[in-house]
A and B are shown apart, each in its own frame.
Chain A
Amino acid sequence: MTLYRIEGLAKLAGRERYVDDLPLGDFLWGMTVRSAVPRGRIRAIRFGKDVNWHDYVVVDHRDIPGPNEVLLIERDQPVLAADRVRHVHEPVLLVAHASRDAARRAARAVEIVVDPEDPVLDYRRPPRPDQVQYGSDNVFKRITIAKGDVERALANAPVVVEGVYETGAQEHVYLEPQGVVARLDGDVLTVVGSMQCPYYVLTALKHALARDERGLRVVQAPTGGGFGGKEEYPSNVALHAALLSLKSGRTVKIVYDRGEDLAATTKRHPARIRHRTGVAPDGRLLAQDIEILMDGGAYATLSPVVLSRATIHAAGPYRCDHVRVQGRAVLTNAVPFGAFRGFGAPQAQFAAERHMDAIARQLDMDPVELRRINLLRDGDTTPTGQVIRDRVDRIALVERAVDLSDYRTKQRAHAAHNSTNPRTRRGIGVATFYHGVGFTGAGEVKLQSRVWVAGLPDGRVEVRAASVEMGQGTITVFTRIVAERLGLTPGDVVIAEPDTSRVPDSGPTVASRTVMVVGKLVERACDDLRLRLELAREDRGDTLRDAIKAWHRTHRGEALIGEAVYRKPPGIEWDDVRYRGDAYAGFGWGVNVAEVEVDLPTGNARVLDFVAVQDVGTVLAETLARGQVQGGVVQAIGWALTEECRWRDGAMVNNQLTNYVIPTSADVPPIRVAFMETPFEHGPLGAKGLGELPIDGPAPAVLNAVAAATGADPRSIPLTPERLLDLLERAAGVAATVT
């Protein structure tokens, strides 16, 4: 069926009400006072004399009813710093006032006096003893994956190729900044906000406010983009707004402006990744030894699980009998890094895919051929020992991408162009990659996600889940799943607003899990609804609607609810101690081909053409799926070429869209997308997850194309014009020395 975005017209017409658009009546604007230094002891807080503080609500850590902890994996991050600060922009104090300008001016009139201590500002350097702030060595998490005997295989390998790769931080730049409204409805503290995970926020509020779940309600407002940036961070904003609201008894709104959002919120983890690879002369991978080092920033946030996904994806989608991946995420006194679309896999696969081209160059092999030889085939095992058996034809994906991109023809055309054009160089690059769908390992089992599908008195059905719409298409896809399962029209399906007072916890809206995991629960809850109505599988459409209405006539005032709780697909086993087994219930597979042109005098690399081919199982909403791929590709092109966070004292100083440069429509070509659809047996209608896969491949594909175009060997991103010029000049210098 052709299904357009259900809430699309409301968004196009500007009718969708985001958190800053909600009519609130009488309310206060909340502002956050933050640390100006990266590390130290708070000695004093000075309140400016020009402000009449009696007009303001002021909150500090002493106003927190429960533990001063933002509950996540660890409890290391305070809601408001008490006696010490660990990063620039760490929240220390909150102020609120009915006038936004007044609140902003008052926040600026507070001085936080700190006795500075020596911060850790480079994650690549081991800390000195006086810089240790976590455990004995500042390491948040260590993970090792081992398969076979890497040392012996490397020792025996005819060729060993080494490389070190680095990726920079990336800012999400969701177009709607962070925002939350908190208010008291009688005894119930209600928080409405822009977020991906209403139940994460609920859990954090419960903990730090020492408040019973019955006294809390979290509602997701339409969310203007998330990309992971609204996975864990909104808990902080929600806690701040809640504290101001509890203290004042008023409705409080906190909406960050762009400068604050860029400076103070999480970003993609910077990483340095070292590869040592043993290869046979024919290109077969014999051993992969990989070390990953990640900058976690000042608090653990989600770094341990980001590292986990990075290590699992680090070897790329290839067959190799001897693999060792050692990962570390370490503390620095930088603003904490956090979830970002891809969750460690883009960093890991940037290194893996650039390294594949380095191997191809050393062996004088075609990069496509090298990948074709090594790609996982059904029956092969991943580094964790997971047997791949999903009937996806990964070789066909490569061939499709090569065909669509005219790879061979363009290679010849580029050779001709490069030998005659004085100013520009053209090249084409490829990347093959995969992305595990859903939570890693036993994560989904622990989550025990739950979905309800309710039959309404008017015969329609309503999906009740905490999975949010943030642009990626939850509403549309859930609608299709229900409509197909129950034989209804999309108009008969309602998707409930994610509101913890009336939807069960279907888990966070992350990890590309909404379609595959939660969508499957939606399907099963539909079946349960039918069961409760004592209907048979063939009873659909009108029969079902009539049965729902009839049920309500005999059960006045009662709720008719079909339910599903997560059940592990058969044959999936994971050992979290040894990091062995089935890391994911399924993988999405992708091949990217990028064509670039490098302007030699300026070092500017421009993407001329881009082909993205992927198999994510059945595609449930074609226009939306294509848009997800195109958006992910362009976001990754930005990460690869222009998006550079500049740092001072561990904080971003170019915190403006003027000088943090994301791609515009004029900077990128049309992204050509093709799906190959191998139905996935455990997904709804055969679908897998799609959200993150598209961001794994473009950065290495683009850099591989730059390498092909120029002969340079770029190993870190963003590859800004300045960096590329440096590389080209160095290469020219070497060439000049040789001749």
Chain B
Amino acid sequence: MMARPPKRSPKAKRRPRARRGKTSTPEVTGQATISVNVTVNGVPVTLEVPAEERLLDTLRYRLRLTGTKEGCGEGECGSCTVYLNGLPVNSCLVPTFQARGAAVQTIESVGPDELQPFLEHGATQCGACTPGVLMTARWVRDHPELLERYSIRELMAGNLCRCTGYDGIADGLAAALGRVPSRT
């Protein structure tokens, strides 16, 4: 079926024509920016960011640390997990100005040795949730006392994964902890 000729009100016909060619990138909101000093993966940086800017966007679009992913934008999926002063947080829920003076660590700070058990146990498939999973897993690994009260599956429940069914992740973390996974 072909598109029929448009029927529009005169008002719609007066629709403004979009400008072609180069447009500037003005901060159209006109809001004041805030100066933020923050240490990211051990490197101190100073940023001028709008008040409403999310830490996730600062990391991804300003600092080009694109390992941190956006999965839902509302703190539900955990794909954007980073450390803020040593605690795992959903960076989509943190305004960047709140990270003033803080130390932020992202997936880019994780060394290759930490990754191997997760590779061997199939912890990653599509990879979109993976950096967030790895950040939470590292936190569990650094706080083994948690495992006295909670299971690996409970501790990892803040990171949604749609590919693995979680076995690869749970087994990978168990191996990283030096525990024998349920199966290899």
A interface residues, Cβ below 8 angstroms from B: 4-5, 7-18, 20-21, 23, 26, 28, 41-47, 53-62, 64, 67-69, 75-76, 78, 82-83, 97-99, 101-102, 105, 113, 172-177, 222-227, 247-249, 257-259, 470-473, 623-624, 626-635, 656-658, 662-668, 670-672
B108 on the A face (CB < 8 A): yes
Contact A631/B107 with A45-B12, A55-B28, A176-B71 known, Cβ cut-off 8 Å: no
Chain A residue contacts of B129, Cβ below 8 A: 175
Taking a contact as CB atoms under 8 Å apart, the answer to whether A12 and B130 are in contact is yes
Interface size on B, residues (CB 8 A): 81
Which residues in A have their C-beta under 8 angstroms from that of B73? 257-259
How would residues 169 to 181 of chain B score, 1 for a CB under 8 Å from any chain A CB and 0 otherwise?
1100000000000
Q: A627 and B122 in contact (CB under 8 A), knowing A14-B108, A54-B19, A657-B76?
A: yes
User: Are B126 and A668 in contact, with the CB atoms below 8 A?
Assistant: no
Q: B121 and A623: CB pair below 8 A?
A: yes
18 further contact pairs, Cβ within 8 A, besides A13-B131, A472-B125: A13-B110, A14-B68, A14-B69, A21-B66, A54-B16, A54-B18, A55-B19, A58-B15, A64-B3, A174-B126, A175-B79, A175-B161, A224-B128, A248-B21, A258-B72, A627-B167, A662-B160, A665-B166
Give the shortest distance, in Å, between A457 (CB) and chain B (any CB).
Answer: 30
- Asked if A45 meets B71 with Cβ closer than 8 Å, knowing A12-B124, A175-B128, the reply is no
Instruction: Tell me the nearest residue of chain A to B52, going by C-beta.
Output: A101
Would B25 and A98 count as touching, CB distance under 8 A?
Answer: yes
A53: B residues at CB distance < 8 A: 15-16, 18
Asked if B143 is an interface residue, CB under 8 A from chain A, the answer is no
Known: A75-B1, A76-B1. A13 touches B67 (CB 8 A): yes
A247: nearest chain-B partner, CB-CB: B18
Minimum distance in angstroms from B52 CB to a CB of chain A: 8
- Pairwise interchain contact A627-B125, C-beta atoms closer than 8 A: yes
Give the top 8 A-B pairs by smallest Cβ distance, nearest first. Answer: A14-B67, A471-B126, A224-B128, A11-B127, A630-B165, A634-B165, A21-B66, A471-B125
Contact B4 A657 (CB under 8 A): no
Q: How far is the CB of A192 from chain B (nearest CB, A)?
A: 15
Residue of A nearest to B76 (CB): A657
Q: A42 to B160, Cβ gap below 8 A?
A: no
List B contacts of A668 (CB < 8 A): 165-166
Contact present for B122 and A626 (CB under 8 Å): yes
Residue of B nearest to A22 (CB): B66
Residues of A within 8 A of B12 (CB): 44-46
Q: Does the CB pair B130–A11 fall under 8 Å? A: yes
Rounded to whole Å, the gap between the CB of B141 and the closest CB of chain A is 14
Binding site for A on B (CB under 8 A): 1-9, 11-12, 15-21, 23-29, 60, 64, 66-74, 76-77, 79, 106-108, 110, 112, 115, 118-131, 134, 151-154, 156-170, 182-183
A224 contacts across to B, CB distance below 8 A: 69, 126-128
Task: For the complex, give the distance between the alpha carbons of A21 and B131 in Å.
Answer: 13
| A670: chain B residues within 8 A (beta carbon) | 167, 170, 182-183
Question: Provided the pairs A45-B15, A631-B164 are in contact, do residues A14 and B107 lie with their beta carbons within 8 angstroms?
Answer: yes
Q: List 16 A-B contacts (CB under 8 A).
A: A5-B122, A11-B126, A28-B23, A53-B15, A99-B27, A173-B162, A175-B71, A175-B161, A175-B162, A627-B125, A631-B125, A656-B72, A664-B158, A664-B166, A665-B169, A671-B165
Q: A68 — which chain B residues lie within 8 A by C-beta?
A: 2-3
Bound state CA distance, A222 and B60, in angstroms? 17
Which A residues lie within 8 Å of B121 (CB)? Answer: 623
CB <8 Å contact, A631 and B163: yes
> Nearest Cβ in chain B — how far from A377, in angstroms?
31
What chain A residues lie within 8 Å of B71 (beta carbons)? 175-177, 258, 657
Report the bound CA distance from A518 to B144 in whole Å: 45
Q: A225 CA to B162 CA in the complex, in Å?
A: 8
The smallest beta-carbon distance between A25 and chain B, in angstroms, is: 11
Which chain B positions have C-beta within 8 A of A61? Answer: 3, 6
Choice from A5, A69, A78, A665 contacting B119 with Cβ under 8 Å: A5
B120 cross-chain contacts in A, Cβ below 8 A: 4, 623
| A41 and B70 contact, Cβ closer than 8 Å, known pairs A58-B16, A99-B27, A175-B126 | no
**Bound Cα distance from A200 to B69, whole angstroms:** 27
Contact indicator B18/A248 (Cβ below 8 Å): yes
Chain A min CB distance to B63 (Å) = 12
CA distance A302 to B120 in the complex (A): 37
Question: Which residue of chain A has its CB nearest to the CB of B173?
Answer: A665
Of B11, B60, B69, B112, which contacts A175 at CB under 8 A? B69
**Cβ-defined contact, B23 with A55, below 8 A:** yes
Nearest A-chain residue to B120, judged by Cβ? A4
Q: Which residue of A lies closest to B64 (CB)?
A: A23
Q: Evaluate contact between A9 and B162: CB separation under 8 angstroms.
A: no
Residues of A contacting B131 in the complex (Cβ-Cβ under 8 angstroms): 12-14
Task: Evaluate contact between A174 and B18: CB separation under 8 angstroms.
Answer: no
Q: By the criterion CB–CB under 8 Å, are B123 and A82 in contact?
A: no
Chain A residue numbers with a CB within 8 Å of B118 are: 12
Say yes or no: B70 contacts A20, CB within 8 Å: yes
Q: Which chain A residue lies CB-closest to B184?
A: A623
The residue that A98 contacts in the complex, of B16, B24, B183, with Cβ under 8 A, is B24
CB–CB A14/B122 < 8 A: no
- Selected contact of A627 from candidates B21, B128, B157, B164, CB within 8 Å: B164
When distances are taken between beta carbons in the complex, the residues of chain B under 8 Å from A47 are: 15-16
Give CA–CA (A344, B182) in the complex, Å: 34
A64: chain B residues within 8 A (beta carbon) = 3
From A28, A54, A658, A665, contact of B76 by CB (8 A): A658
Find the residue from A43, A53, A257, A627 having the highest chain B CB count within 10 A: A627
Would A665 and B153 be within 8 Å (CB), given that A9-B112, A68-B2, A102-B28 are in contact?
yes
Contacts of B119 in A (CB 8 A): 4-5, 8-9, 12
Evaluate contact between B167 and A671: CB separation under 8 angstroms: yes
Smallest CB separation, B169 vs chain A (Å): 7
| Bound Cα distance from A58 to B15, whole angstroms | 9
- How far, in whole Å, are A470 and B9 apart by their CA atoms in the complex? 45
Q: How far is the CB of A15 from chain B (nearest CB, A)?
A: 7
